[in-house]
Structure 1
């Protein structure tokens, strides 16, 4: 039983070693890193030898209440997909959430005309205040 186990493990290691392709390290041709600074801001960017590029900047948006301050970020990256398609994405992130923009991202279908017309109509209507209910005694 022990010989069978050794034989099976040996075969698995040989097949695993034969499947792995040698990899060549990809150089980093540009690297910048500024921060995190005293005010919470930062900036970084890099580019690799195979054309991958990325960058990001961030800053803290102060508020009256220090526990309510928010980090605002802008950045992007680009690379070439395995099928040769150039991919480029930019983004902002902050209190409004993460908002990516890129031509490769899926987009929702257009609104049906009746819904678009209804939304336009509703935007022209005055807001209705919340009703005030009497306090229970």
Structure 2
């Protein structure tokens, strides 16, 4: 078996050497037209962003936390003793758009919302609704028990 695998590997290598892949340059796309930025955008090394404010309050019944940086990143969240978290985060995109995401994380999972989150396509939403309305019912198999006589 090992000899067959080695033979196939050698044949594949020889085929690759004799038939090199042709590399074609990618087509050039026109550069996007510059758009005026609605807010100032930081175009520098993001590793040099400074923390403007940070607060962390951890208690027995939950926590509150917030962060704001000099490159317009803002985050805040709070959680309770049951593991439920409500929060938000925002930043300025490279195009200058203010992105704002709010979320809830609880027993129903992570649930983000915001204009930047794409909508679920109608077909997927209909499929999810159908699945919820028609839960899987495991099949019951008639198993013959050796001590029961029919």
TM-score, with normalisation over the residues of structure 1?
Answer: 0.55
Q: C-alpha separation between the residues in 1 aligned to 2:114 and 2:93?
A: 14
**Equivalence for 1:76:** 88
**Equivalence for 1:44:** 65
**Equivalence for 2:122:** 110
Q: Which has the higher strand share?
A: 1
Q: C-alpha separation between the residues in 2 aligned to 1:74 and 1:38?
A: 17
Shift of 1:89: 0.2
1:54 aligns with 2:54: no
1:76-103 superposed Cα distances (whole Å, 9 cap, x missing partner): 1010001111110000001100000011
Taking the TM superposition and a 5 Å limit, the aligned residue runs for 1:1-137 are: 23=45, 25-35=48-58, 37-39=59-61, 41-61=62-82, 71-110=83-122
Q: C-alpha separation between the residues in 2 aligned to 1:79 and 1:95?
A: 27
Q: C-alpha separation between the residues in 1 aligned to 2:78 and 2:120?
A: 29
List gaps (5 residues or longer) in structure 2: 1-43, 134-144
Q: How many residues align?
A: 95
SS of the residue 2:116 aligns to = coil
Across the aligned residues of Structure 1 and Structure 2, the Cα RMSD in angstroms comes to 3.3
> 2:76·2:89 contact (CA, 8 Å) conserved in 1?
yes
Q: C-alpha separation between the residues in 2 aligned to 1:25 and 1:96?
A: 37
1:33-84 superposed Cα distances (whole Å, 9 cap, x missing partner): 100x223x111001111211000101123xxxxxxxxx10010101000111
